């Protein structure tokens, strides 16, 4: 349908999972994309697969201001504009109770999950406001809204910061016709669960299939979330179909934060009836 015809996008953390699928979909819908990550071989493979005339890989550490500025500069220098920034890059955070959290692990997680988003918006904003248009999309999480939906309370706190920072910046940039929204995924079958539980990064992506059965039981929709579910939400927010959507946290979770599962609720009621002898 070419919903992103002639648009230029940047997607961070695009060497696997949600980022990679979003890059594939954006290119299929007519966009030119700059993608980044730290795994050069995977990034170059994606660039080759999608074609360098449509997809350019840049090795970058999203926690470093120079790298994030360089990413935005590359898109503008190569294709003359920037229509969409998807701050997707992320990673695991320290697990365990608050009394066990190492300060260096906390700081590293906040840099990866929050500072990177701030830096992307900081350097994309001048380009987009000068154009008088643009869409910034930040990857949040249902863990930002509900405790206990992540293996890490630090991850949850970081994502809550991302979602609220999104709203704050949306109020500023919206006045220049630049939209800022978050996407909050539920249980999406990617390698992040393996990474969070200590699987080495080079093997973590292969764990995505193993988590599907467990994720299918979390929400009313009886399947695991897939990278494609988030990529399609990002496509909507990047396209001109969403030009009146700003400051929104777009939850894509199959209903997990909607409340208690109906079947579990009914089991609880039945337990009460049994206790009451009715």
**What pLDDT, on a 0 to 100 scale, did the predictor assign at position 258?**
94
As a whole number of angstroms, the distance between CA 30 and CA 9 comes to 11
Catalytic residue among 57, 79, 155, 193: 155
Please, are residues 156 and 150 in contact by the beta-carbon 8 Å criterion? Answer: yes
Which residue is associated with the tokens 């979770």? 253
DSSP SS3 for 37: strand
- Output the CA angle 228-247-151, nearest 5 degrees: 55
Rg (CA), the chain: 19
**What pLDDT, on a 0 to 100 scale, did the predictor assign at position 198?**
76
As a whole number of angstroms, the distance between CA 259 and CA 255 comes to 8
Q: Is 155 known to be catalytic?
A: yes
pTM, two decimal places: 0.94
As a whole number of angstroms, the distance between CA 135 and CA 124 comes to 10
**What pLDDT, on a 0 to 100 scale, did the predictor assign at position 40?**
93
Residue ranges and CATH numbers for the domains of the chain are 8-276 (3.40.50.720)
Please, are residues 30 and 4 in contact by the beta-carbon 8 Å criterion? Answer: yes
**What pLDDT, on a 0 to 100 scale, did the predictor assign at position 191?**
79
Q: Give 77: exposed, middle or buried? Use CB within 10 Å, 0-12, 13-18, 19+.
A: exposed
DSSP SS3 for 225: strand
pLDDT in tens, the chain (278 residues): 699 999 999 999 999 999 999 999 999 999 999 999 989 999 999 999 999 999 999 999 999 999 999 999 999 999 999 999 999 999 999 999 999 999 999 999 999 999 999 999 999 999 999 999 999 999 999 999 999 999 999 999 999 999 999 999 999 999 999 999 999 999 999 877 877 777 887 677 788 888 899 999 999 999 999 999 999 999 999 999 999 999 999 999 999 999 999 999 999 999 999 999 98
């Amino acid at each position: 349908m070419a919903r992103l015809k002639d648009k230029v996008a940047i997607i961070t953390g695009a060497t696997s999972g949600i980022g990679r699928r979003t890059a594939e979909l954006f290119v299929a819908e007519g966009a030119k994309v700059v993608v980044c990550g730290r795994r050069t071989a995977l990034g170059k493979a994606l660039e080759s697969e999608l074609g360098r005339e449509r997809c350019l890989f840049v090795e970058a550490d999203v926690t470093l201001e120079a790298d994030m500025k360089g990413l935005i500069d590359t898109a503008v220098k190569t294709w003359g504009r920037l229509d969409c920034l998807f701050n997707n890059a992320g990673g695991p955070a320290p697990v365990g109770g608050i009394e066990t959290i190492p300060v260096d692990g906390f700081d590293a997680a906040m840099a990866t999950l929050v500072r990177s988003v701030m830096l992307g918006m900081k350097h994309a904003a001048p380009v987009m406001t000068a154009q008088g248009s643009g869409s910034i999309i930040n990857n949040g999480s249902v863990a930002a809204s509900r405790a206990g939906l992540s293996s890490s309370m630090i991850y949850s706190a970081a994502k809550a910061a991302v979602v609220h920072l999104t709203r704050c910046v949306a109020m500023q940039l919206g006045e220049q016709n630049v939209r800022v929204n978050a996407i909050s995924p539920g249980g999406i079958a990617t390698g992040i669960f393996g990474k969070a539980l200590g699987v080495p990064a080079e093997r973590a992506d292969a764990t995505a299939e193993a988590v599907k059965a467990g994720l299918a039981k979390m929400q009313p929709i009886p399947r695991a979330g897939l990278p494609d579910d988030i990529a399609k939400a990002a496509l909507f927010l990047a396209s001109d179909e969403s030009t009146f959507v700003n400051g929104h946290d777009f939850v894509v979770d199959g209903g997990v934060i909607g409340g208690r599962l109906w079947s579990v609720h009914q089991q609880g009621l039945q337990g009460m009836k049994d206790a009451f002898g009715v």
